Structure 1
Amino acid sequence: MELAEKFLDFFLHLDKHLLTIVTDYKNWTYLILFLIIFCETGFVITPFLPGDSLLFTAGAIAA
């Protein structure tokens, strides 16, 4: 149960963890962002993922 809570917390506060993801995974970040945004818009069971705020945060980090 603790793993599920950490997993949910990570995805709900992804904008705070994004800078760490960028520094750790560098070019893989694009694939990670694509998968998160695709899942948020494409699947019925994942509307809790931060799609719009994630795009704004990724744009701010890219600038």
Structure 2
Amino acid sequence: MRDAAITLRASLEQRALIDRAARLLGMNRSAFVLEAACDRAQAVVLDQVLFSLDADKFKQFTAMLDASP
């Protein structure tokens, strides 16, 4: 159940672009904006949590974690 409102202001051009994209996907504006915002939010959060290292960098990283402070 959706019970929290999110309100934002946009230019007419931005709204028209969003509406066009939403129609192309068969969505309404609210669903499109919510999905796009959640996708971006998840990417930002994951970028702070997940990272990749090659084998050498991983060895250095684990050695640093294992070393005493």
Q: TM-score, normalised by structure 1?
A: 0.30
Higher relative contact order structure (alpha carbons within 8 Å, sequence separation ≥ 6): 1
TM-score, normalised by the number of residues in structure 2 = 0.28
Q: For the pair shown, which has the larger CA radius of gyration, 1 or 2?
A: 2
Give the helix-richer structure, 1 or 2.
1
